[in-house]
Amino acid sequence: MKKLILICLTAGVVLTGCSGGTENVSAAMSHIAEGSLKEAEDSLEAAKQNKEDAQLIERAEGILCMSRGEYEEAIPHFEQALAQSPGRVGDPEIDISYYLMSAQEKTGQLDEAINTCSAIIGMRPQDAEACFLRGQLNIKNDLYDDALRDFNRAVDLKGSDPDMYLRIYEFLNENGYDEAARYYLNQAQKLNGHFSDYQKGKMAYCAGDYELARDYLEKARMSEEEGVILYLGRTYEALGDYNFAASLYRTYSEKHPEDAQILGQLALCSIAIEDYEAAMEAVEKGLEVGDEGMKKSLEFDRIVILEHMGNFEEAKKQVKDYVKAYPDDEAGKKEKDFLTQWDRFGAD
């Protein structure tokens, strides 16, 4: 089935499917966005009864599964959605393939995720985002040379835009590839172009020139460009002003409560200034957003906050669940070992 889907994506094989209305499917997607998963399930059942668009139903079923953390169960829904292509491969199929790739990655099926991403690139060879994502997958799959080829292709497609260089820098830096990360940062700094204050600030921040980064990012602050507050806050953290960084994050999150990354950063700042109640509030709000990319770090932060608050009984419960969910996470294992040595886990 997977091979068939990939062949269809890369070669444009005609598939057949049925189409109908979308009212209940649209309602289901709105419910998923709101976190109302039971209502989404009911809407999808109504969509099936009314014989609405089969491809959109399968897509929504897959996204619903992912919202529940059921990534393995999501995969066949996305595969079926691709099999319902109405005679051509277009934007809907590319969109579904991105979801499929994400679910495969979440379940550790890195080879399959890379193949799916390769299929997207086969259909969209100028898709810089797909090249970047395949580079990330190749790093996770220990295919370093393949990753660099993808990253180089991604920056070539973006031309003089420094943002892709900086994304690659941050990813490689976070994963321990310091020398390679520095190369992409240096290349970004060599670019000639009319960069925004935000872009200049990001480059200065990544280069460790925090005072220069602050100056540029403060100028960019009024633009309300996405990401400015995150980098500005991080800059103030790097300069040691955690209180001001926390106030930036808090003010921003009041206007943008759906930004789990800002809430996660607010939690870390609050921990640094020992305001553990504020930190816990930020974590809980972040988890309510349902951002899968932030879920792991927020759950870990919650354990740390519980320890600081002296609530070891709840901390031990949370860390056991965390280690079960993320068995390869070394930080989680250390937290469990720390609590275990104080004999708080009993026979477990």
Q: How many CA atoms lie within 13 A of 318 on its CB side?
A: 18
Confidence band for 11, pLDDT divided at 50, 70 and 90: very low
All domains of the chain in start order, with CATH: 1-125 (1.25.40.10)
Q: What is the pLDDT of residues 55-74, one digit of tens each?
A: 999 999 999 999 888 999 99
What token pair was written down for 24?
């209940």
**Among 260, 257, 304, 256, which Cα is nearest to 280's?**
304
pLDDT (0 to 100) of residue 293: 82
What token pair was written down for 17?
């499917």
Total residue count of the chain as it appears in this document:
348
pLDDT (0 to 100) of residue 204: 96
What token pair was written down for 285?
């709000």
User: What percent of the chain is predicted at pLDDT more than 90?
Assistant: 73
Confidence band for 20, pLDDT divided at 50, 70 and 90: low
* Contact in structure between 203 and 166 (CB atoms under 8 Å): yes
pLDDT (0 to 100) of residue 7: 34
Q: What is the pLDDT of residues 306-334, one digit of tens each?
A: 999 999 889 988 998 888 888 878 888 78
SS3 141: coil
Confidence band for 75, pLDDT divided at 50, 70 and 90: very high
Q: Looking at residues 222-250, what average pLDDT do you find?
A: 93
What token pair was written down for 327?
């068995």
**Among 163, 222, 218, which Cα is nearest to 195's?**
163
Indicate the burial class of 83 (C-beta count within 10 angstroms; 0-12, 13-18, 19 or more): middle
Backbone phi, psi, residue 24, to 5° = -75, -35
Cα dist from 89 to 19, 61, 83, 84, whole Å:
15, 20, 10, 10
SS3 237: helix
* Contact in structure between 234 and 203 (CB atoms under 8 Å): no
Q: Looking at residues 288-310, what average pLDDT do you find?
A: 91
pLDDT (0 to 100) of residue 325: 82
Rounded to the nearest integer, the mean pLDDT of the chain is 89
* Contact in structure between 31 and 37 (CB atoms under 8 Å): yes
Q: Is the pLDDT of residue 5 over 50?
A: no
Q: What is the pLDDT of residues 187-235, one digit of tens each?
A: 999 998 889 999 999 999 999 999 999 999 999 998 878 899 999 999 9
pTM: 0.81
* Contact in structure between 62 and 99 (CB atoms under 8 Å): yes
Cα dist from 76 to 13, 302, 317, whole Å:
20, 33, 33
Residue appearing with tokens 């109908």: 20
DSSP for residue 345: S
d(C-alpha 62, C-alpha 76), whole Å: 8
Confidence band for 24, pLDDT divided at 50, 70 and 90: very high
* Contact in structure between 8 and 82 (CB atoms under 8 Å): yes
Residues 6+ apart with CB under 8 A from 119: 5, 6, 9, 10, 97
Q: Looking at residues 175-193, what average pLDDT do you find?
A: 94
pLDDT (0 to 100) of residue 226: 85
* Contact in structure between 203 and 189 (CB atoms under 8 Å): yes
Residue appearing with tokens 């599964």: 65
SS3 184: helix
Q: Is the pLDDT of residue 181 over 70?
A: yes
